[in-house]
C-alpha cells in the first residue's frame, strides 16, 4: 500500500510537472512569434500585388495607385533601353519616361506594363483619339554601325512631329533575315490584344538603310480611301527585280498576322520553292497567292521606297528614284561598297532640312498623285500601268510655283538603279 501510494503520488507529481508544458504550447499557438507575424505580413503584401497585377483594371483608383507599376490588363511594355528583344533609339523623343508621355496621351491607368516587349509609349497623333494610328518598325543587329544608326535616327523628327511609335528589334528572333516577319507579327499580335479603339491601324516597315528626307509627309496620306478600298490591307512597291520589301505599309489586323505566318511557313513546308531573296521572296510568294493578292496594292516606288536620285535631281524622272520632297531614300544596293558614304551624304542633306527636300505635303506632288492613283485603281486599271504613268511625273511645277532655288547635291559613289 505504501509502495502503491508512493507510485501514485509520483505519477501525479509527473503529471503535474508536464501540465505547465502543455499549457505553454497552447499559449504559443494562441500567441504566434514575431517571426511568424512578419511572414504573414509579407505573404499578404505579395498576394495583394499579385492580384493587382493580374486584375488591376478591376480595382478602384484608390487601390491601383499603390501598385508598383500601372496596369490595365493588356499586354504592355517597360521602357528599358538595351532590353533583349528591342530598344528605342538614343535621343528618340519617345524614350522619355513613361509617366511624362502618358500624361499627354494616356488615361490615368496605363496599358504598358509587361516587360516581355520593349515597345514604347507614345504621344498622340490624332485630334480625336489619344492612341496613335500609325507606327513604324525596323531591325538592326550586331554592334552599332554609325551609318545605319544615323539612318534610323533620321526618323526621330518625323516620329515626333506625327506621334509615331518606332519599334526597333535588336536581337535575332529567327535565323537570317526572317526575324523581319517575326518582329512584325510580334507588334501586330500585341496590338490585336488591345481593345480595338486603342490599336494601331497601320504599320510601316522600313529597312535600316533608309534615310528620312521629308519629315513633313504624314504616312496616312498613302492609305486607301475608306470604305471603297477597305479590303486593301497592304501597300508594296516593285523594283526591276520584283517585290522590294525594304519599305512597305500594312494594316494592323488578323489578315496581316496570317500573311506573315504564311510567308514564314513557306521555307519549312514548301522547301522546293526557290527563295532567291530569302524573306523578301517568301513574302512575294505569299502575296501572289489568290487569297492574299486581292488585298495587296502595288504603288509607285518613288512614293516611299525610292533609291538615291541622279545629280540632276529636279529632272530625274526615273521610276525607282526619289524626288525632292520625297518621304525617304532607300539605299538598297551596295555592290560598289559605297553605301555608307551615300547614306552619310544624304543624311547630311536631310539633317540640314533644305527647303528643296523638307517641304509641306501641299508643296509636293503627293496629294495629286495619290488621288489620281486611287481613282485609277477604282476604275480597274492595272497597277503596272498606273505606276508607270504616275512614276514618271516630275514635281518641277510644285517647286517652280513656290519660286524656290533648287539644290543639286552631288551623289557620292555609283548611282543605284
d(CA 351, CA 47): 52
Q: With the C-alpha atoms ordered 381, 396, 241, 231, is the resulting torsion angle positive or negative? A: negative
Given this model, what pLDDT does residue 308 score? Answer: 94
- 100 exposure class (CB count in 10 Å sphere: 0-12, 13-18, 19+): exposed
Instruction: Give Cα separations from 375 to 22, 293, 306, 326 (angstroms).
Output: 94, 19, 23, 21
Residue 405 has pLDDT above 90, yes or no: no
Average pLDDT over residues 378-397: 90
Average pLDDT, the chain: 76
d(CA 109, CA 128): 19
Residue 200 has pLDDT above 60, yes or no: yes
Average pLDDT over residues 107-124: 36
Name the least confident of 4-13, 125-134, 246-255, 307-316: 4-13
What's the half-sphere exposure (Cβ side, CA atoms, 13 Å) at 47?
6
Given this model, what pLDDT does residue 32 score? Answer: 52
Where exactly are the structural domains of the chain? 27-68, 123-402
Given this model, what pLDDT does residue 49 score? Answer: 57
Given this model, what pLDDT does residue 48 score? Answer: 59
Given this model, what pLDDT does residue 316 score? Answer: 65
Cell of 260: 506573315
CATH of 123-402, one of 3.30.470.10, 3.40.640.10, 3.90.550.10, 3.10.310.30: 3.90.550.10
Average pLDDT over residues 360-374: 96
E-only strand ranges, 83-241: 134-139, 166-169, 202-206, 210-212, 234-239
d(CA 113, CA 94): 16
Rounded to 10 deg, the angle between the 339-352 and 146-153 helix axes is: 30
Amino acid at each position: 500500500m505504501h509502495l502503491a501510494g508512493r507510485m501514485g503520488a509520483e505519477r501525479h507529481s509527473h503529471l503535474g510537472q508536464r501540465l505547465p508544458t502543455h499549457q505553454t504550447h497552447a499559449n504559443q499557438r494562441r500567441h504566434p512569434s514575431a517571426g511568424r507575424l512578419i511572414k504573414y505580413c509579407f505573404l499578404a503584401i505579395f498576394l495583394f500585388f499579385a492580384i493587382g497585377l493580374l486584375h488591376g483594371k478591376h480595382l478602384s483608383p484608390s487601390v491601383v495607385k499603390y501598385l508598383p507599376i500601372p496596369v490595365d490588363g493588356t499586354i504592355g511594355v517597360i521602357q528599358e533601353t538595351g532590353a533583349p528583344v528591342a530598344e528605342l533609339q538614343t535621343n528618340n523623343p519617345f524614350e522619355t519616361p513613361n509617366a511624362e508621355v502618358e500624361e499627354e496621351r494616356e488615361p490615368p491607368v496605363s496599358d504598358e506594363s509587361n516587360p516581355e516587349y520593349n515597345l514604347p509609349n507614345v504621344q498622340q497623333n490624332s485630334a480625336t483619339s489619344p492612341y496613335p494610328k500609325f507606327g513604324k518598325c525596323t531591325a538592326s543587329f550586331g554592334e552599332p554601325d554609325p551609318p545605319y544608326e544615323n539612318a534610323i535616327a533620321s526618323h526621330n523628327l518625323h516620329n515626333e512631329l506625327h506621334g509615331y511609335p518606332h519599334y526597333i528589334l535588336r536581337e535575332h528572333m529567327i535565323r537570317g533575315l526572317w526575324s523581319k516577319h517575326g518582329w512584325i507579327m510580334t507588334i501586330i499580335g500585341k496590338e490585336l490584344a488591345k481593345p480595338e479603339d486603342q490599336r494601331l491601324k497601320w504599320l510601316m516597315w522600313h529597312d535600316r538603310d533608309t534615310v528620312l528626307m521629308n519629315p513633313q509627309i504624314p504616312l496616312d496620306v498613302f492609305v486607301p480611301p475608306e470604305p471603297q478600298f477597305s479590303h486593301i490591307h497592304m501597300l508594296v512597291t516593285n523594283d526591276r527585280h520584283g517585290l522590294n520589301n525594304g519599305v512597305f505599309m500594312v494594316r494592323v489586323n488578323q489578315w496581316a498576322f496570317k500573311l506573315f505566318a504564311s510567308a514564314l511557313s513557306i521555307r519549312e513546308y514548301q522547301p522546293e520553292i526557290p527563295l532567291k531573296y530569302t524573306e523578301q521572296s517568301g513574302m512575294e510568294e505569299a502575296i501572289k497567292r489568290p487569297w492574299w493578292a486581292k488585298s495587296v496594292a502595288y504603288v509607285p516606288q518613288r512614293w516611299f521606297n525610292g533609291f538615291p536620285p541622279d545629280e540632276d535631281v529636279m529632272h530625274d524622272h526615273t521610276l525607282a528614284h526619289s524626288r525632292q520632297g520625297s518621304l525617304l531614300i532607300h539605299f538598297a544596293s551596295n555592290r560598289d561598297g559605297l553605301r555608307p558614304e551615300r547614306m552619310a551624304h544624304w543624311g547630311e542633306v536631310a539633317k540640314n532640312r533644305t527647303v528643296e527636300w523638307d517641304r509641306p505635303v501641299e508643296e509636293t506632288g503627293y496629294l495629286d498623285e495619290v488621288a489620281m492613283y486611287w481613282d485609277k485603281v477604282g476604275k480597274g486599271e492595272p497597277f503596272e500601268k498606273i505606276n508607270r504613268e504616275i512614276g514618271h511625273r516630275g514635281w518641277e511645277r510644285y517647286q517652280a510655283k513656290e519660286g524656290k532655288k533648287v539644290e543639286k547635291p552631288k551623289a557620292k559613289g555609283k548611282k543605284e538603279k
